[in-house]
Structure 1
Amino acid sequence: MTEEGNIISVSIEDEMRGAYIDYSMSVIISRALPDVRDGLKPVHRRVLYGMLDLGVYHNKPYKKSARIVGEVLGKYHPHGDSSVYETMVRMAQEWSLRYPLVDGQGNFGSIDGDSAAAMRYTEARMSRLAEEMLADLEKEVVNFEPNFDDSLTEPSVLPARLPNLLVNGTSGIAVGMATNMAPHNLTEVVEGIIAYIQNPDISIAALMEYVKAPDFPTGGIIYGYQGVRKAFETGRGRIVLRAVANIETDKNGREQIIVTEIPYQVNKAVLIEKTAALVNEKKIEGISAIRDESDREGLRIVYEIKREAMASVVLNQLFKYTSLQSTFSVNNVALVKGRPATLNLKELIKYYVEHRHEIVVKRTQYDLRKAEERLHLLEGLLKALEVIDLVIATIRSAADADTAKQMLMGKLALDLQSRFFEGVEMPQGFVFSFTDVQAKNILETRLQRLTGMERAKLQAEYDELLKTIAYYREILADKVLRMKIIVDELQGLKDKFGDKRRTQIEHDGQEIEMEDLIPDEEMVITISKAGYIKRTPLIEYRAQSRGGTGAKGVTTKEDDFTEHLFIASNHNYILIFTNFGKVYWLKAYEVPEGAKTSKGRPLQNLIAIENGEMVQAVINVKTLSDEDYINNHYLIFCTQKGVIKKTALEAYSRPRQAGINAITINQDDSLLDVQLTDGDSHIVAAVNSGRAICFHEGDVRAMGRGATGVKGIYVEDQERVVGMVCIKQASQNLLVVSEKGYGKRSDIEEYRITKRGGKGVTTLKITEKTGDLVSIKAVTDNDDLMIIKKSGVMIRFSVSELRLMGRATQGVKLINLPEGDAIASVAKVENIETEDDLNAEAAAPEIAPDSSEEVAE
């Protein structure tokens, strides 16, 4: 604080953060999200309570909407009048709410998107169901809170005998969250709630036997049940809705498509307008005319079909390109004890039942208190009737009403000498003992209650009240009885307002995917160095005995060879990573099928790779939809500068046609390799100078898709990483190859495990004779090795022909190289037991004659 004491320094960042959090919480709690108990937002609740104040019940005359809006604005909702009026209008629209809460008279809009008439022209009153929402409000069953200026109070929640949140749903956009809850059929919801009350441990699947699916006010067809099931189980789901359309033939023999119901929240006029535009653009063909024949009897859209067109084909086009098929994204977010929560079907029912149970308890307590108060008054009256002459004489002798009350309460002595007591027989030592309220009630009682019939009525009322009070006390002592009351009230709602479903359910209506038409067979996928890809049925590779002559394999260019080869089923995903750090997706069945001898198709014809992009790694993934699988498998990335990154497979589980950035690559770096692990592998990375490091992948924390990664191995300026392998199987060995044809196979256990980021140990002694290290591979005896020289010559031989050697050796000469030639790259090819070799050209390996040479470090 300054010397003047009136300026306080505040961080603008802290102030903005605090102000924004306050604003967002205000929007979440006081505007956009419904309360789980009554399913209403504050504005809806205030509209109904304002109408209750005005007394516009369903059986009373309508009042002008402007009068209702003014009541709500002036007393409870100090916002724009349009927000209140539009809320009231929506509550009156039968195509917006499954069970409208406002009974409107006048123009309240249309399904074509027409707005309602001005509030000075329309009239409204509560619907019968709205009164069920407000029932028992006067019995102190809910808390009341001050309005905006503390001049009045308003209910914080309504008693809500109607399960409004389930039957009418809601939608709203808050700050950082939103809600979109579907409406349901009242009959089904009541049956579901009763089933829950009878068995609180009931499963969601069992509840779905009663609450079958959402029931939208505009009808339509729920096309496929998977989205419904997911929404009920998790609170989130995507429901496909279709219009009800039938193909008919007119009197001229021409086919017509007649639409009688459209999906929820679809604007009919916009639907017709956009369909006409698609017809004009030739995107939808076969429609000669569109007519809107809707009237008071219901909705009817007619599509005239051209004579040469097939109506069924046109209908499928309409479903595909127009809003005749749309989706409703369920997001069940509501306020539970003031906090937003995503709720499944059972939780929605549970919180409603808890609320109604609380209402029944408070209502019974209120009724019990009132009954006991009435019983007390009746006791006073009956007691007074027994000594009515004394009571009358006492009242007549009193100077005023207050004195009479005091005398009846026994607080003033009776004047036995008064003339009013002459002839009245006084019991010995008699004193009145009425309570304050009894004495007041006696004084206010009319003389007609002194008749014999009235006395009998009082006694009958007294006896009945005793039974009622006993019943109330029984209710408060027995939860089972309270639950029975809730069930009876719900049954009454069902009998009075229950109706049939409007929305049909087509359980097997999911769209046929291409995958469903393709058998899940094992295929051999090959990608060549030049980027040619194909798939071949595994059955084409028939097993061949030892000593066979082989057969012609894949046809490639002279300077090309198969770099990636693996077995995948047709339904598997193939993730293709490029040197730019991008990833592309292909379904195995999307790879063109080719014969064993064919070259394949260029990869750029299948995925949108850029110029200069080269395939660095290919990952075969079983599924991208199994959450357990994608959250417990990881991709390990390695760059030429020694950067290692680990990311959960889940981050790459949403395919994009144009591909996405899989890793952020520094400007002077490029992606080298990608491996799929289950989180329990050892990572080995090697640099061209002959060093290699081995560490557990647990040393690398999982990070986001856009991250760069962390240092895996120390790399000097003139060095680069030449390979990275992830080893888990003890049977795997580490194979290293040098630039001048030297290589060896070593046991992985010879590489001590260290922390990431170090220099590592020697994996191959680099000399002028060997040249730089060019490749490392994790291999087994079943693998083949493909080596390509810089001159373009390729050889292939089995790894089993190389014996195990120590880590600290120079290795053996794998291949004879002419002077000036060197090894360009090395690829490991999975050795499939085949009848024919995958590559006949590699049938005779070019192993150097001095391959037994082994030099110690």
Structure 2
Amino acid sequence: MEDNQTPQATNDQNRIVPINIEAQMKQAYIDYSMSVIVGRALPDVRDGFKPVHRRILFAMSELGINSNKPHKKSARIVGEVLGKYHPHGDSSVYDAMVRMAQEWNMRYRLIDSHGNFGSQDGDGPAAMRYTEARLQKMAEAMLEDIEKDTVDFQNNFDDSLEEPTVLPSRLPNLLLNGSSGIAVGMATNIMPHNLTEVIDGCIAYIENRDITPDEMMQHIKAPDFPTGGIIYGMEGIKNAMHTGRGRVVLRGRVTVDVKPSGREQLIITEVPYQVNRDALCNRIGQLVTDKTIEGIAHINNESNNKEGTRIVVDLKRDAIANVVLNQLFKYTELQTSYGINNVALVKGRPRTLNVVDMVREFVEFRHEVVIRRAQYELKEAQKKAHILQGYLIALDHLDEVISLIRNSPNPEAAKEGLINAGWGLDEIQAKAILELRLQRLTGMERDKIKMEFDELMKLIAHLTELLSNEGMRFDLIRSELNEIKEKFGDERKTEITLLDDELNIKDLIKEEDVVITISHLGYIKRTSATEYKSQRRGGRGVIGGRTREEDYIEHLFVASTHHTLLFFTEGGRCYWLNVYQIPETDKGAKGRPIQNLIQLNPGDKVKAIIDIADLQDTEYVKARSIVLCTKKGIIKKTALEDFSRPRQSGVNAITIVDGDELLEARLTNGNCEVIMAVKSGRAIRFPEEKVRETGRGAIGVSGIEVDDDQDAVIGMICVDRSDKDRTVLVVSEKGYGKRTPVDEYRITNRGGKGVKTISVTEKTGKLVGILDVLGSQDLMITCKSGMTIRMPVKGISELGRATQGVKLIRLEEGDSIAAISKIDETEDDEPIADVENGENPNPTELNDNQDTSENSASTN
């Protein structure tokens, strides 16, 4: 017997594979942890959902429980999810569904609830057999186009059905509603944000793919919680925006009221995110009992679902409200901190993401969805057009088709007959013709088929162009995002408060007027306005900046250190720069290359600058427009709001045609008249309403007729109709100038030749500058040699349009005027004369018939 059993025992031993238990445990635990990470705890960066939330919304969509349909029992929905997609406990599904319906947990609710879904006081929801639910409109936007092959599907747990691996979300849900979860070895805690800000951030990314977290924070400022509250400090949020990890401190909103008896009470109207109001009241009561906080007489939670949060804390007569409030912040959840840990699945792998990463992943996902949707729609349109084309062929040969079908013994023979009839029909078209209803053979129906076919061909052409043009696709994404913003956008609920050490840098910069100068070769600097002393007309001037022989000061103007400058280049681009960021130097310094401060395109140069006091002042920005003009007489008006969101790489302000360049930019308030002038001495005046407001990318319309290549526009001014004190100041290249009342320029339509504004002669030279000025202002004239003179405007003669003016500045041989600008007169400016340099403190005024030599005008 032993001999017979030996082979059997040997076979059993051969079937046993020895393994290392340590290696087996490691592998099994890794498999388990990856299952938890990918299939349960972490959201997908594209739609912001964990599998359970995605399955709930998809199942409700499949059941047809849309926002315009009646609510259905929660038990019915939970059963659908469990039976088809999510084989786990029913409480896990119901709890997830309930959370998506709670307005104090979700910044933007995805499920419309009916019944008791709990409260912010910690009350649980009613059993699923009592409550009902349906999809919110926002959830429908997340499921839109799912039937158009926009996302991949996978088999469900028993391979009987298919479920989406991700939803084709139109909204960046991961940022909007956030997410939290604990996996194995990692966790995620993403804060909710405001939809309007997030959409603006997505559009900013589309316009500038190299956007930095700091630039993105100009749009997505901070988390925005559904329960409101006040964010206390931004340092931790900045860290999270840059690295994906940080901390946000949130305080409840508290006001101090005085009772009729004279006692004070604290009214809490907003509590921090995910704070239980009853638990907060109990905690405060316990602290009073323990005498940790003294000064509280009574606390009462008067909150309800209709009027929201209201917790009343009555203080004792001798209590100081601020002291008690600070104690509440210190010892209770009235001030709570949240750790930000932006971990999400990117292509199936967990990654820590900063704010730009999350926006980038969403936009790229939407781009993929748009491509797949267009491919699906193109395929379907081509199929339909193919059949309609068959119908049209059949209708063109109607009698032969009817005869062929009538004489065929069976449908198969009829189909073969149609295919072989020589009309170019294939099997699909032949089958469709055989299924055609007789009523479609009428003349009216034929016209409908032809019209439908033509519409389909237009759609096919559009979709084909869309698939071949990336710019069109991103424009479509931008427009869809703007639609979502228009439909669902709202104001922030959570206020932001900076700490003392986080004050805006502008608060640390002394606000004062400075002179900004930009040279022809692009050197920029700022200098205190007090360094430029006022002189009388006809003086020699002082050096306004050391420049190379071929360089000269081209722009000179005054602005506050707290203002923002909009730079417009000759290529039609716009850039932003804070005045305090411009290096401060003395008056004679050369300055710094402007390319070091703004990202100018190679070969481009600044041609116009607009000074804006505060781009964040919404009311001011919405009421203003920017008018642009070019050397060839083109004029264009665009809303200032289009330039209120700074981009480091700049934006396109106007489309410039070949051979033209941007010359001037002016700020208007809707009640201005435009005056444009050309070198030959002509000017035109017309109301700004004659120029229709267009987007940043438009070309513009004709403003003034430019005769030949030798002539060109030299400037443009915009004068407010209500400002009757302003005059038009013109200056020629050889130093002649004058002031003329605005009313002497008759109002005409834009695009005309205009009227004479100065008599151009060999003595005066061509017209080089035009300004609208007040008598209380000063004029600054800059020569190509670098010489600068400042003089009071009231000292310049007021003469008619057809005159040549008076001499404003004496020029050296070969020198000429480079730029003119105006500044407000300051109290500490004193008229001075530099006799050492041959300045004339009291020059003889010149009229059009007088001429005085250099020697007779100078005094030594």
Q: TM-score, normalised by structure 2?
A: 0.57
Give, in whole Å, the separation in 1 of the partners of 2:379 and 2:454: 17
Deviation string 1:71-94 (CA, Å, 9 cap, x unpaired) is 000000000000000000001111
Q: Counterpart in 2 of 1:451?
A: 442
Task: Specify the SS of the correspondent of 2:291.
Answer: coil
Tell me if structure 2 keeps the 8 A contact 1:225–1:509. Answer: no
Give, in whole Å, the separation in 2 of the partners of 1:509 and 1:375: 67
Give, in whole Å, the separation in 2 of the partners of 1:507 and 1:192: 22
What are the residue-to-residue correspondences of 1:634-713 with 2, within 5 Å? none
Tell me if structure 2 keeps the 8 A contact 1:223–1:506. Answer: yes
- After alignment, is 193-202 or 453-462 more displaced? 453-462
Give, in whole Å, the separation in 2 of the partners of 1:186 and 1:293: 31
The one-letter code of the counterpart of 1:384 is A
Displacement of 1:117 after TM fit? 0.5
Q: Counterpart in 2 of 1:655?
A: none
The one-letter code of the counterpart of 1:192 is G
Tell me if structure 2 keeps the 8 A contact 1:223–1:509. Answer: no
Q: Counterpart in 2 of 1:385?
A: 395
In structure 2, relative to structure 1, the CA distance for the partners of 1:177 and 1:249 (3 Å cut) is same
Displacement of 1:382 after TM fit? 0.7
- After alignment, is 315-324 or 390-399 more displaced? 390-399
In structure 2, relative to structure 1, the CA distance for the partners of 1:401 and 1:509 (3 Å cut) is farther
Q: Counterpart in 2 of 1:279?
A: 288
Tell me if structure 2 keeps the 8 A contact 1:290–1:304. Answer: yes
Give, in whole Å, the separation in 2 of the partners of 1:227 and 1:431: 76
Question: Is residue 2:308 matched to residue 1:298?
Answer: yes
Tell me if structure 1 keeps the 8 A contact 2:393–2:423. Answer: no
Displacement of 1:433 after TM fit? 3.4
- Say which of 490, 494, 497 aligns to 1:499: 490
What are the residue-to-residue correspondences of 1:465-614 with 2, within 5 Å? 465-508=456-499
Q: Counterpart in 2 of 1:337?
A: 347
What are the residue-to-residue correspondences of 1:298-447 with 2, within 5 Å? 298-410=308-420, 431-447=422-438
Displacement of 1:510 after TM fit? 7.3
Task: Specify the SS of the correspondent of 2:15.
Answer: coil
Q: Counterpart in 2 of 1:8?
A: 17
- Say which of 261, 266, 269 aligns to 2:275: 266
Displacement of 1:258 after TM fit? 0.4
Task: Specify the SS of the correspondent of 2:499.
Answer: coil
The one-letter code of the counterpart of 1:506 is T
Displacement of 1:266 after TM fit? 0.7
Question: Is residue 2:239 matched to residue 1:230?
Answer: yes
- Say which of 146, 160, 166 aligns to 2:175: 166
The one-letter code of the counterpart of 1:304 is D
Task: Specify the SS of the correspondent of 1:74.
Answer: helix
Give, in whole Å, the separation in 1 of the partners of 2:10 and 2:473: 64
Q: TM-score, normalised by structure 1?
A: 0.57
Deviation string 1:650-681 (CA, Å, 9 cap, x unpaired) is xxxxxxxxxxxxxxxxxxxxxxxxxxxxxxxx
Q: Percent identity among equivalent residues?
A: 58
Task: Specify the SS of the correspondent of 2:100.
Answer: helix
Task: Specify the SS of the correspondent of 1:92.
Answer: coil
Give, in whole Å, the separation in 1 of the partners of 2:72 and 2:281: 36
Task: Specify the SS of the correspondent of 2:326.
Answer: helix
Deviation string 1:434-466 (CA, Å, 9 cap, x unpaired) is 211111111222122122221111111111111
Displacement of 1:509 after TM fit? 6.2
Q: Counterpart in 1 of 2:51?
A: 42
- Say which of 119, 126, 130 aligns to 1:117: 126
Displacement of 1:467 after TM fit? 1.2
Give, in whole Å, the separation in 2 of the partners of 1:28 and 1:477: 38
Displacement of 1:162 after TM fit? 1.1
Displacement of 1:237 after TM fit? 0.6
Displacement of 1:317 after TM fit? 0.5
Give, in whole Å, the separation in 1 of the partners of 2:99 and 2:298: 33
Give, in whole Å, the separation in 1 of the partners of 2:296 and 2:191: 33
The one-letter code of the counterpart of 1:38 is D
The one-letter code of the counterpart of 1:441 is A
Q: Counterpart in 2 of 1:133?
A: 142
The one-letter code of the counterpart of 2:100 is M
Give, in whole Å, the separation in 2 of the partners of 1:84 and 1:126: 15
Tell me if structure 1 keeps the 8 A contact 2:344–2:351. Answer: yes
Q: Counterpart in 2 of 1:91?
A: 100
Displacement of 1:282 after TM fit? 0.4
Task: Specify the SS of the correspondent of 1:124.
Answer: strand
Displacement of 1:432 after TM fit? 4.3
Deviation string 1:538-589 (CA, Å, 9 cap, x unpaired) is xxxxxxxxxxxxxxxxxxxxxxxxxxxxxxxxxxxxxxxxxxxxxxxxxxxx
Task: Specify the SS of the correspondent of 1:294.
Answer: coil
Task: Specify the SS of the correspondent of 2:496.
Answer: strand
Q: Counterpart in 2 of 1:717?
A: none
The one-letter code of the counterpart of 1:254 is R
What are the residue-to-residue correspondences of 1:809-848 with 2, within 5 Å? none
Q: Which has the larger radius of gyration?
A: 1
Displacement of 1:401 after TM fit? 2.2
The one-letter code of the counterpart of 1:66 is A
Give, in whole Å, the separation in 2 of the partners of 1:347 and 1:129: 23
In angstroms, what is the RMSD of aligned CA positions? 1.4
Displacement of 1:508 after TM fit? 2.3
The one-letter code of the counterpart of 1:485 is L
The one-letter code of the counterpart of 1:174 is A
Tell me if structure 1 keeps the 8 A contact 2:153–2:165. Answer: yes
Displacement of 1:39 after TM fit? 0.5
In structure 2, relative to structure 1, the CA distance for the partners of 1:400 and 1:107 (3 Å cut) is same
Q: Counterpart in 1 of 2:552?
A: none
Tell me if structure 2 keeps the 8 A contact 1:168–1:183. Answer: yes
Displacement of 1:292 after TM fit? 0.8
Give, in whole Å, the separation in 2 of the partners of 1:503 and 1:399: 77
Give, in whole Å, the separation in 1 of the partners of 2:316 and 2:91: 46
What are the residue-to-residue correspondences of 1:746-785 with 2, within 5 Å? none
Q: Counterpart in 2 of 1:63?
A: 72
Tell me if structure 2 keeps the 8 A contact 1:220–1:263. Answer: yes
Higher RCO (CA-CA < 8 Å; seq separation 6+): 2
Give, in whole Å, the separation in 2 of the partners of 1:472 and 1:507: 49
The one-letter code of the counterpart of 1:244 is R
Divergent runs of 4+, >6 A: 509-512
The one-letter code of the counterpart of 2:329 is F
In structure 2, relative to structure 1, the CA distance for the partners of 1:76 and 1:2 (3 Å cut) is farther
Task: Specify the SS of the correspondent of 2:133.
Answer: strand
- Say which of 138, 145, 151 aligns to 1:142: 151
Deviation string 1:379-409 (CA, Å, 9 cap, x unpaired) is 1011111111111122222222222222111
Tell me if structure 1 keeps the 8 A contact 2:378–2:464. Answer: yes
Q: What stretches of structure 1 of length at least 5 have no aligned partner? A: 411-429, 513-857
Give, in whole Å, the separation in 2 of the partners of 1:288 and 1:52: 53
Give, in whole Å, the separation in 2 of the partners of 1:251 and 1:382: 86
